[in-house]
Chains A and B, each alone.
Chain A
Amino acid sequence: MKVTVKSWTGVATWRWVANDDNCGICRMPFDSCCPDCKLPGDDCPLVWGACSHCFHIHCIVKWLHSQPQQQCPMCRQDWKFNNK
């Protein structure tokens, strides 16, 4: 071995993986936060429904609270959180 690796510190950034760029409810990019939050990231996470649609958690919770039926605002299927 000419050169051996003694240690290595990796640096990586993370961002959300979503099927769309913007939240369908608030129309803000997923990379930024919902209108009620100040900082994107762990404080304003995304959630996926069983129907594969994705929203800011604050947005969808607000939506579900305001609706008589628990439906996805994009496809009108019954909303279920996808906990995979």
Chain B
Amino acid sequence: MSLKPRNVDFTETWTHLKETVAGVVGLRAVERSVWNTRFSDVYALCVAHPEPLADRLYDETKSFLEEHVAGLLARVRGSSSLENNDHNDGLLTRYVTAWREYSQGVAYLNSLYSYLNLQHVKRQKVSDAEIIYGSAATVSCPENDARQLEVGELGLEIWERVLVRPLSTALTGRIVSALCSARDSTPDPALATTLKEAIHSTVQVRAFRVRAPLQLYQQLVLEPYLAAAGAAHARMAAALLAAGDVAHYTRLALQQLEREVSLGARFLDASSAEQVRACYERAAVAAHLPALHATVDKLMRDAATDERDGQERRDDLRRMYVLLRPLGGAALRPLVDAAHAQATADGHALLAQPHNKDEAHTHFVNAMLTLHGKYSKLFADVFGGAQAFIGALDKACSAVVNFRGPTDSCARAPELLARYCDCLLRKRGGGGGGSGETDVDEKLSAAIVVFKYVDDKDVFQKYYARALARRLIHQLSASMEQEEAMINRLKAACGYEFTNKLHRMFTDVAVSADLNAKFQQHLRDTNASTTPGFSIQVLQAGAWPLGGAMAPLAPPQQLERPARLFEAFYRASFSGRRLAWLHHLCTGELRTRYTPRVCHLSATTPQCALLLSFETVDQWSARDLRDALQLGGDAWWRHLRPLLDAALLLAEGDVGAGDGGGEPAPDATLALNLAFSCKRTKLRLTCANAPSHQGAATAGAGAGANAGAGADSGESATHCDDDRKMYLQAAIVRIMKQRKVLRHTELIQEVVSQARGSFAPSVAMIKKCIEALIDKQYLERAPAALDTYSYLA
């Protein structure tokens, strides 16, 4: 046959064509040759001469299909009454059968008309771009526009218009009632398939549409179903709550949720899974939130116990969390609050447990670690480690760590934690303990966990620096690697600024070792000899928490010589630096030769001096001795007392070694105890505590270690307060310098956020600092607005 356009008699061709179309749509057998001829007929009609007959063909086909579907409608409706909603009356089955036949037939018809579809209809199709950005005309209403569709689509459109619309109420009622009964009992397979196909037909019939392809499905199936399901869920949930406790409710509710979701997945369109779930949550869970929330406190309390019951409560909580999680933050809030309250209460209880006062630091850190470990595990286990609960735990921990009793001026956490670290890092006496290096490392890493919760990090730093200074100067560190690792951990937690002084101290010690080697070399070079075992640590004045005032001392000749030599050496090596001896930190090791048993003493320089003064005599007038050594003020009693306490020296009369010192009486004398004996061969003497920066005494001679503890922490608190004021003022000036003009509340916020890394400033203190800066004319109150400050350059 020729492809040339030619004259075609429409009526005749259509009569033939119509027959075949009826056959195709009815899925009756069509001969191959007939099919081919009809295919050509469609072509011939479309390209007919003189006038193409495509439009006419389209219209005829349309009216034919309408007629056909009207016939199907009658068949589907059958004898059933449309009013009742009995899904077993056969209407659904008939509908599905007709749909199967028709949808397939239309698909074939679509192929038969493919020339028409391709050449004639396509040109009129709306492009995607038009739909998305579209002109108002195309967007308006696709239902009513007379635009031609592809024949397959046309068939589906006619199905929807002619068959589904009249039956919609009946279909909806049957589908919903079938779904509802499928929820309670598994339907028989035939009905299940029918139901599924019926539902999917509502999707497929509009699948070709670009706009709102699911509209029919939503109107016909989803929305009525969700309404019915919601009511059912609400009834069921109320019944569950009335029947049993919350545990019972959560268990069954979760099961039903599962069932509901799987029901949805089985029968409904995949796109509605989310809505089905949300519908359940809204009806069954959200409606009963108050009842659920009322129980969380108790559940949380029980879940935290280790008893047998605890596991079950944890399961309850886990289920409740699963139920509540999709409802968003507000629904979870009581759960989070309960978690926070429980962890806080537990923490306080742990800390309040009776413990040995000397072990307070270990008790504190262990209690915190127990708390943190327990609840991290619990929350990870029950709530899958959700952010909100981790946050609640953090808040609880920091509340417990920074808790201060009504009588405490500041939280004890920084001090206890620093002491804990000190004990770990210090050389263990007598090789006992048995804890290996890895063990210590682990404990120190764990301490960092606690450290992160400490608000007053600057106070911790003070205590830590002091303890570190003591360890470094007296060479008490168990291992330098551990010291360094710990400083690095602190640095990782708090930043460089926090640890730079600690680092500085560390480098000073390293530099000192170097310096010692050079000095020894220098001595060999110059053939000068000194006391054996002379070494020195040169520290940088600003970096060490050692206090300033140096008691003057006229050191004994044995010690003065090496000291002078070193000073000369140092001056030659570094110009422009002045050395100041910290006699109370120097240690000398002495060997007694006058006692029945040789005894090794380690003592501060003034103490060495005191003992060495008895070289030629056995007795001194206290006042003469003091003047000879130039031990003025505090230094006298602080260094003398340990010697008296250890009974190395014997006092007669008031030598002025009581608390706070005093003038030695003119007739008071000090005598060397020639009969001195001690069980141990090594004895360590320290200087007695005073209101200075010398901390608690080390173990050994028991030189009033406890006396200074109270004064020590009080003094460090005021010291810390001053530092904080400086810090805050600096922060305020920095901020104001940048911003020039700032409102009061914003300024406070910025200051707090800057300071948070090292401590939590009180607003009152910030206000005071602002006042101070206004007095110093760094800032002024803006004349126009009362709550605004401006920076004065």
Q: Are B590 and A3 in contact (CB under 8 A)?
A: yes
A26 to chain B, nearest CB (A): 16
List, in ascending order, chain B residues with CB within 8 A of A2's CB.
Answer: 592-594, 614-615, 672
Q: Are B579 and A12 in contact (CB under 8 A)?
A: yes
A41-B501 Cα distance, complex, nearest whole Å: 11
A3-B556 Cα distance, complex, nearest whole Å: 12
B182 to chain A, nearest CB (A): 73
Q: Are A11 and B588 in contact (CB under 8 A)?
A: no
Knowing A2-B592, A38-B497, A39-B504, say if A12 contacts B535 (CB, 8 Å): no
In this complex, how many residues of chain B approach chain A with their Cβ under 8 Å: the count is 54
Knowing A8-B562, A9-B537, A41-B540, say if A14 contacts B579 (CB, 8 Å): yes
- Mark out the residues of chain B between 665 and 686 whose CB falls within 8 Å of any chain A CB in the assembled complex: 672
- Mark out the residues of chain A between 25 and 80 whose CB falls within 8 Å of any chain B CB in the assembled complex: 31-32, 38-42, 46, 48, 54
Q: Are B615 and A40 in contact (CB under 8 A)?
A: no
Q: Are A9 and B588 in contact (CB under 8 A)?
A: yes
Q: Are B537 and A12 in contact (CB under 8 A)?
A: yes
A41-B558 Cα distance, complex, nearest whole Å: 32
Q: Are B581 and A11 in contact (CB under 8 A)?
A: yes
- Mark out the residues of chain B between 248 and 307 whose CB falls within 8 Å of any chain A CB in the assembled complex: none
A12 to chain B, nearest CB (A): 5
Chain B 428-450 interface mask (CB, 8 Å, partner A; 1/0): 00000000000000000000000
Q: Are B576 and A11 in contact (CB under 8 A)?
A: no
Closest to A13 in B: B541
Q: Are A18 and B576 in contact (CB under 8 A)?
A: yes
Q: Are B575 and A84 in contact (CB under 8 A)?
A: yes
A3 to chain B, nearest CB (A): 5
List, in ascending order, chain B residues with CB within 8 A of A12's CB.
Answer: 536-539, 579-582
Q: Are A10 and B563 in contact (CB under 8 A)?
A: yes
B600 proximal to A (CB < 8 A): yes
List the one stretch of B200-208, B526-534, B656-664 in contact with chain A: B526-534
Knowing A3-B612, A4-B593, A39-B500, say if A11 contacts B473 (CB, 8 Å): yes
List, in ascending order, chain B residues with CB within 8 A of A84's CB.
Answer: 575
Knowing A12-B539, A17-B578, A41-B542, say if A3 contacts B600 (CB, 8 Å): no
List, in ascending order, chain A residues with CB within 8 A of B540's CB.
Answer: 13-14, 40-42
Q: Are A8 and B592 in contact (CB under 8 A)?
A: no
Closest to B500 in A: A39
Q: Which of B501, B579, B608 has the most CB of A within 10 A?
A: B579
List, in ascending order, chain A residues with CB within 8 A of B308's CB.
Answer: none
List, in ascending order, chain A residues with CB within 8 A of B593's CB.
Answer: 1-4
B758 proximal to A (CB < 8 A): no
B543 proximal to A (CB < 8 A): yes
The residue that B576 contacts in the complex, of A3, A38, A48, with Cβ under 8 A, is A48
Q: Are B592 and A10 in contact (CB under 8 A)?
A: no
Knowing A14-B578, A17-B577, A39-B500, say if A7 contacts B542 (CB, 8 Å): no
Closest to A33 in B: B542
A10-B473 Cα distance, complex, nearest whole Å: 9
List, in ascending order, chain B residues with CB within 8 A of A16's CB.
Answer: 576-578
Interface of A is mostly: strand
Q: Are A38 and B500 in contact (CB under 8 A)?
A: yes
Q: Are B592 and A6 in contact (CB under 8 A)?
A: no
A64-B710 Cα distance, complex, nearest whole Å: 53
The residue that B539 contacts in the complex, of A5, A9, A14, A18, with Cβ under 8 A, is A14
Q: Are A10 and B536 in contact (CB under 8 A)?
A: yes
Q: Which of A2, A16, A46 has the most CB of B within 10 A?
A: A2
A46-B575 Cα distance, complex, nearest whole Å: 10
Q: Are A11 and B608 in contact (CB under 8 A)?
A: no
B93 proximal to A (CB < 8 A): no
The residue that A5 contacts in the complex, of B536, B577, B589, with Cβ under 8 A, is B589
Knowing A5-B588, A9-B536, say if A31 contacts B578 (CB, 8 Å): no
- Mark out the residues of chain B between 505 and 544 whose CB falls within 8 Å of any chain A CB in the assembled complex: 531-544
Q: Are A14 and B559 in contact (CB under 8 A)?
A: no
A58 to chain B, nearest CB (A): 16
List, in ascending order, chain A residues with CB within 8 A of B612's CB.
Answer: 3, 5
B650 to chain A, nearest CB (A): 15
Q: Are B587 and A8 in contact (CB under 8 A)?
A: yes
Q: Are B566 and A10 in contact (CB under 8 A)?
A: yes
B284 to chain A, nearest CB (A): 61
List, in ascending order, chain A residues with CB within 8 A of B542's CB.
Answer: 15, 31-32, 39-41
Closest to B594 in A: A2
The residue that A15 contacts in the complex, of B500, B580, B581, with Cβ under 8 A, is B580
A36 to chain B, nearest CB (A): 15
Knowing A2-B614, A6-B591, A38-B497, say if A13 contacts B579 (CB, 8 Å): yes
Closest to B589 in A: A6
List, in ascending order, chain A residues with CB within 8 A of B608's CB.
Answer: 5, 8
Chain B 535-567 interface mask (CB, 8 Å, partner A; 1/0): 111111111101000000000001100110010
A47 to chain B, nearest CB (A): 9
A15-B543 Cα distance, complex, nearest whole Å: 11
B575 to chain A, nearest CB (A): 7
B586 proximal to A (CB < 8 A): yes
Closest to B567 in A: A12
A48-B593 Cα distance, complex, nearest whole Å: 51
Q: Are B600 and A8 in contact (CB under 8 A)?
A: no
List, in ascending order, chain B residues with CB within 8 A of A13's CB.
Answer: 538-541, 544, 546, 579-580, 582
A6-B592 Cα distance, complex, nearest whole Å: 10
List, in ascending order, chain A residues with CB within 8 A of B580's CB.
Answer: 12-15
Q: Which of A6, A7, A13 has the most CB of B within 10 A?
A: A13
The residue that A41 contacts in the complex, of B543, B581, B587, B592, with Cβ under 8 A, is B543
List, in ascending order, chain A residues with CB within 8 A of B588's CB.
Answer: 5-9
A84-B672 Cα distance, complex, nearest whole Å: 50
List, in ascending order, chain B residues with CB within 8 A of A40's CB.
Answer: 540, 542
A30 to chain B, nearest CB (A): 9
The residue that A10 contacts in the complex, of B534, B541, B594, with Cβ under 8 A, is B534
A16-B580 Cα distance, complex, nearest whole Å: 11
List, in ascending order, chain B residues with CB within 8 A of A41's CB.
Answer: 504, 540, 542-543
Q: Are B591 and A3 in contact (CB under 8 A)?
A: yes
Q: Are B591 and A10 in contact (CB under 8 A)?
A: no
Closest to B537 in A: A11
A7-B594 Cα distance, complex, nearest whole Å: 19
29 A-B contacts, Cβ less than 8 Å apart?
Answer: A2-B592, A6-B588, A6-B589, A6-B600, A7-B535, A7-B588, A8-B533, A8-B559, A8-B587, A8-B588, A8-B589, A8-B605, A8-B608, A9-B475, A10-B566, A11-B581, A11-B582, A12-B537, A14-B539, A14-B570, A14-B574, A14-B578, A14-B580, A38-B497, A39-B500, A40-B540, A41-B504, A42-B540, A48-B576
* 7 extra interface residue pairs, beta carbon distance < 8 Å, beyond A5-B559, A16-B576: A1-B615, A3-B590, A7-B589, A8-B608, A9-B536, A13-B541, A13-B544
Chain A residues within 8 Å of B, Cβ to Cβ:
1-18, 31-32, 38-42, 46, 48, 54, 84
In the A-B complex, the 7 residue pairs with the smallest Cβ-Cβ separation, listed nearest first, are A7-B533, A11-B585, A10-B536, A8-B588, A6-B589, A13-B541, A15-B541
Chain B residues within 8 Å of A, Cβ to Cβ:
473, 475, 497, 500-501, 504, 531-544, 546, 558-559, 562-563, 566, 570, 574-582, 585-594, 600, 605, 608, 611-612, 614-615, 672
